[in-house]
Every structure is written in C-alpha cells, then in structure tokens.
Structure 1
C-alpha cells in the first residue's frame, strides 16, 4: 500500500479582518469564518481520501490574540482525524510562537508536535517495509533571523524522509526573513520531500526532491487572491512521490478588470460588468467569489462613473448578489474620456482636462505643494503603511502622479456632470 499525506500550512485561524469588516460586516463575517471552514474541509478531505497523515507546516494561529474558542475548535478537528486513524504532524510557525494558548494545549494522541531539536518521528511504512520518517523544527520565538536547517538531523537511512520547515526561503517582497534558507540548500540535505510553510502563495520549487510551499488554504484579503488549496502527496511502493493540488477555500479573492472601451451607455457598462463577474464566479468552482473590480478603458461614461461612484457600487453589488455567493470588495476607476479628433470642438471641460494634464500636473510648484501634503499624510501613518505607499523616492513620485491625475479626474467629472445638467 502507498503512503498518502496532506500538506498544508498558514491557516491563521480566526485572523482579524477589521478593515474588511468595517466596509461590509456580512462579508467580513464570511471571510473570518472561512478560515475555520477551510480547516474542516481539509479534515473532510483527509478522511474522504483515507490518507495516513496530515502535515501542518506552521501558523495554525494568528498570533497573541488567539482565543480559547479558536483552540477548542482546532482540538475538535484534530479529534476527528484521531477517530479516523489519521496522524497529524505539526510545527509551530512564527505566529504560533506568539500565542500563549498554543503552549498550554494538550493535543490528542494522534498529533505529534515537533520541538526545536529536529528529532525525526516515524510516520509509517510502505508494504515493502520501507519506513517513512518526518523531521520537523518548531519556532521557539516569534522571530528566527537565521537558518534552522542546521538543526535538522541527517536523513534516516533506507527510508523516505520528509522535512517540515516554516521559512521565508530567500525572502519575498511581502515577507520578513524567517528561518531563511535556499532551495539548493534544502535539496542538498537529502530529504525526499520538504513540506514548507510561511509564504501564502502556492509554489512547487522543485520536484526531485519535492520542495513545496502550499500557500495558505484560505485567502484573507485581496492580496491573497486566486484559488487556494492543499497538496495531496502519494509515496509509491518504489519510493517515488507524486503530488496534486486540491482546492479547499471557502472564498476566493480575485482582481477583475472590466474593459469599457467604446461603451457609451450605463446599461452597456452593467452588462459588461455582469459578464466578467459571471465568468469569474463560474471559475471559482463552488467557492464564494470576492472581487475587486477595476473599470478600465476610454469611454464617454468616464466622468459619470466618477461622479456617481456610490450608484455604481450599489448597482454592481446588486449584480453580484443576483449571481449568488458573489461579493464586491471594492470598485476602482481607471477609465478615461475618449480622445477628441483634431479639428473637432472639444468643449471647455475637455480643454481644461488637457491643460491640467499638460501644463499643471507636471509643474514644479504644483508637485512641491502636493509632495508636502503627502508628507503630512504619511507622517500620520504607521511605518509599515508608509513603506507600502511610498517605499522609495521612485514610488513616491509615482504615487504623486497617480494622486494628481485621480484628483483632477474627480473634479472634471463633477464639472462634466454640471455641464450635462445645464
């Protein structure tokens, strides 16, 4: 009989979603509860596929705010696996290390929680007698600025060896360095499969040996978009490992673009939006769709969309509701008015728009005043938020240009609306 296991990580059970909840309380409740439902779906999958083990490569929790209710829910799911005869191998990630409750829990007997010493545990054996050993190292503290790879012991001889590590690898643009290492170093250690965690985007870095970052099984905001799932791995009698991704997400976040080029009436815009949402809804494979829409293209509706953003949002939300299990997280406007052909009277608002873009926005005096206003705003934000908005001088200049154009477009939209009513 082959040995089968599920590899997951970064569930962040009951992680807070304050900004989303403020905009839409019902949507906030859906996504907050989705992290629990994703774990239940993982357990359902494990039982349905009759796997031998579930490997959780860190960050079950979301830090120090973990509640006892969250912990008790986790214990209930672990007991479901225990009743099905499925073992669980678990390491603590950086968020788990912040939680006091994590250290106080008593897991059921099927759960093996690795400490920081790297001692392997026998997980089972193939029909030919070849053993399966799992190696894991937990975070003792919330930060691990140096590699934990030296903590791992050598592979068990004549066995299939699986390593579990919570790591940022060589680092990522949105992740601080945690237990940094490289794919080459992991491959050289001699294990047959590396079950990684920490980075929330799925990636198979290598297949021989397998080095897999499964991503988080449930996205929590628009920056964790796309389908989410777990890895189902099978170790054959010959020791060869095969892997497949299985979806488990309850809600899928997607950035969707609605091209309104050439569309000149409101109903046509709504029809185009519905077509984009319906296609994405079908692709979500039964999960709730949480969409951020970007309206793009050159359209005579540009001014009206900006003037009536509240009406636009309401109508788009109604379309989403009619599709079922479809939500609008936000609507962004990147539309522009069509260019006017030479020799045609463009009208005062269009001429004003040209003057603003060509003669005002780029002037030194205007940008200096805008830069001072931006600096005042940034000083009121936390350091992390400042870095995201304007991490360097080039990013600040790009942000200034974006704000200037968006502000002028909003004013011109109002002027266009007044002109139409007149």
Structure 2
C-alpha cells in the first residue's frame, strides 16, 4: 500500500513585493505554486499510488480564482482517470464555509466534513484504509478537534488527516491538539498540515507535517515538497520528495575589502560566479562590511536604488548563477562586547541561559502558530541572528565604547 501526503499548496499565492524581477522570472514565480502542485499529482500517477491525502490550504485565499479552481478540477480528473482517490480536509485559508466552486469535483474526490468524519477505502490489494479528519467550517477553529475523531477502527490501516497546530494555551486559533491525544487514537499515520516547515513529531507511528509544496516568501526557505508513504513490515514509512519550482534563500556574506559601491558591485559579481544554484533561487542578501559606507552611498542601498540598477546591469551574471536578488542590506561587522563594558564571563553565561532552545520557544509562544514565523524560527541561523542583534542593542543601551562598567 502506498499513498501521497501533501499539504498547503496555497494555489494563487500573490508573491507580493517582487517589483524588481525581470518579467520572465516574475512569471515563473507567479506560477510556482501551480508548478509545485503538478509535481505532486505527477508523482501520484507515476507511482500509481492507492490514494492522495491533501491536508488543508489547497488555496491561498477563501476567494479562489477561476484559474485555481479549474486547475484543481483538471488535476483531480487526471487522477480519476487512473482510479486514484483524493481525500481533502480544508484548512484555515480555504475553510469549507467559503467553498463556492463553480463546478463539482470528480467522483474520486472526498471532502471531509466539519466534524471528525471517516472515509473508508478498499484497495485493489483487498486492504482497507480508514481516513479520519475534518475541514474548517470557518477561518478559526479554537476547539481541539481530536475528540471528534473515532478511535482506531477494524480497518487494516487507520490514518488521521489534520490541519492544525500544537496547543499552547487559551488563544489557539488553528485546531489545537496535543501529541499525546493523537498517539492515544492508535492510528498508523497522522498526515498533518498548517506548519510550512516539514516536521516529524513522532517517528512510529509517524506524526508528520509535510510542509508546504512551494515556499512563498523569504521566510519559507529551503526545498519544499511532499511525502510518498508506503507500507513496510506492518508500518507506514514516509519518504520525502521535492516539489519546489523556486527556492528562497536568506544569506549573510562578509566582504572584508569593500569600501564603496563600485567595490561592492565587483565583490557581489564575484560572489555570484562562485555560488551557482541548480534551480532558480530568490536570494535576500545581507552584506557585512569591515568598514562602513559613507552616508550617501548607504542611502542608495537603503532606498533600493542601487540594487535595482545592479539587477538591470548584471542580468547575465544573475542568469548564469540561476539567482535573482530580492533584497540587499548592508551591515557593519557586529561589535563584540568585551570588558570593561561588561564582564565577559557574566555576559557569556547569561547569553547561554537566555538563548537556550526551550526558553526561546517559550518567549515566542503563540507567534509560532504563524506559519512564516515558525519557518523562520526553525532556521539554524535564527539564534545566531538573535544573539547578534541583542549584542548590538545592548551596546546602544550602554552608550557604546564610552560607557564603562564599574
């Protein structure tokens, strides 16, 4: 038995703010959610899976475009012709109350209801699969929905389909749940959606966020995709496959010998030649300089004028590198706080305590329910950036080099 678990297609994402991109690149980006989704459906047909699970937010907005609705209809019909069922739970972006499709989906498509409902499939192998889940009746679901899911049935395989977030407290809005509740149901697999960073919450049985199929902003970096899940020795084993049409990247580079904009342009071109990517990558670049630019040149960077000019005059380098720059900012090398400004021993001890993973997570709290913030928080560079910013802010509060600790 094998199936595909995908989530958060976000068809019709607007990709706002990319005004400096060449038309060919902009066209590729605007079609990226559709291109990525097509890879999911192509894989289902190539591998002849038994069914496809879509864990919410197929559309980016409740008001779906005709193009997005028609696209999904045709993809579902492709699967229908191959006799591959599709089971959908709508999420907070495409909640069921606003599902006003102009056409009915093909007969192979099942949309789960507002309460925990179950669809049972009988596969060609004779195995039975029960898929339990629900669709959002409105944009926010504040109650834990897992209580409405049935306990494990007599089917050969039982799967949960859930678009939601781990519970953090009384203000949860996205179908809050506890991992212990999911495990208590004794299902063989939990197909999760909503968080755009793929995460394995439990290994066996797998409790898995597939992440989104296409990153939508620089806060959703890295390769995105879906999972092909197969039965192996009585267990369900997920295997990731990539679908991203476009990658997003947030990088910091150090240019030690740059003192003006001309030198910056030369250094940036050299960097592009040395960092070619395998597919189109939208890069937000922070350049750390050993020496500051003068105020006039820095203003050109801050306004975006210099980057706009660079993009127009260096297209061949950008095309060759398979990159485009969506943002450029310049910072000076971080000032290291040393005694006598503050006792270094106490600073390092406090730093280790404050920037401990559990403490960071507790501080961010409910903000982690936002998909883009959760994605940013999970990046390995985030803690480093937070530490650097804290040092810089502390330096300002202490009055810089002229302030001495007593």
Query: Shorter-chain TM-score: which interval?
Result: 0.7 to 0.9
Tell me the TM-score normalised to structure 2 length: 0.74
Report the equivalent of 1:357: none
Matches within 5 A, 1:146-161: 146-157=143-154, 159-161=156-158
- 1:202 deviation in Å? 1.1
Matches of 1:63 and 1:148 in 2, distance apart? Answer: 22
Residues 51 and 86 in structure 2, CA contact (< 8 A), matched pair in contact too = yes
Give the conservation status (yes or no) of the 8 Å contact 2:90–2:96.
Answer: no
1:314 aligns with 2:312: no
Q: Contact 1:89–1:111 (CA<8 Å) still a contact in 2?
A: yes
Question: Is the 8 Å Cα contact of residues 256 and 276 (structure 1) preserved in structure 2?
Answer: no
Q: CA deviation at 1:99?
A: 6.7
1:211 aligns with 2:203: no
Quick check: which one's helix share is greater? 1
Residue of 223, 226, 236 corresponding to 2:219: 223
Partner of residue 243 from structure 2, selected from 244, 248, 260? 248
Q: Following the alignment from structure 1 to structure 2, what is the Cα–Cα distance between the partners of residues 60 and 228?
A: 15
**In the aligned structure 2, how far is the partner of 1:103 from the partner of 1:58?**
16
CA deviations on 1:377-399 (whole Å, 9 max, x unpaired) are xxxxxxx9xx9xxxxxxx9xx89
Mapped to 1, the partners of 2:9 and 2:271 lie a distance apart of: 30
**TM-score, normalising length: structure 1:** 0.71
The verdict on how the C-alpha distance between 1:90 and 1:338 changes in structure 2, with shifts beyond 3 A counting, is: closer
CA distance in 2 between partners of 1:14 and 1:248 (Å): 16
- Specify the structure having the higher radius of gyration (Cα): 1
The corresponding residue for 1:119 is 117
1:20-59 alignment to 2 at 5 Å?
A: 20=18, 22-24=19-21, 26=23, 27-59=25-57
8 Å contact from structure 2 (residues 150, 185) kept in 1: no
Provide the aligned C-alpha RMSD in A.
3.3
Does 1 or 2 have the higher relative contact order (CA < 8 Å, sep 6+)?
2
> Which residue number corresponds to residue 291 of structure 1?
283
- Cα distance in 2 for partners of 1:158, 1:73 equals 33
Counterpart CA distance in 2 for 1:280 and 1:203 is 28
Give a deviation string over 1:179-232, Cα, whole Å, max 9, x none: 101222211211111001111111111111101111111111111111111111
Counterpart position of 2:344:
none
1:295 shift after superposition:
0.4
Aligned equivalents of 1:124, 1:293: Cα separation in 2: 51
- The structure-2 alpha-carbon separation of the partners of 1:126 and 1:297, relative to structure 1 and needing over 3 Å to count, comes to farther
For residue 11 of structure 1, report the CA deviation from its aligned partner.
1.0
Q: Give the drift of 1:257.
A: 1.3
Q: Cα deviations across residues 95-129 of structure 1 (Å, max 9, x unaligned)?
A: 111773445541111111111232322234484x5
Q: 1:233 to 1:24 in 2, by over 3 A?
A: same
1:7 equivalent in alignment to 2:5: yes
Shift of 1:56: 0.3
Q: Take 2:181 and 2:274, find their aligned partners in 1: how far apart are those partners?
A: 42
Of the three residues 175, 178, 182, the one matched with 1:179 is 175
Corresponding residue number in structure 1 for 2:16: 18
Give unmatched runs, 5+ long, in structure 1: 340-383, 388-394, 406-422
In structure 2, stretches of 5+ residues that fail to align are 337-369, 374-385, 397-406
Query: Do 1:11 and 1:61's aligned partners in 2 also have CA atoms closer than 8 Å?
Result: yes
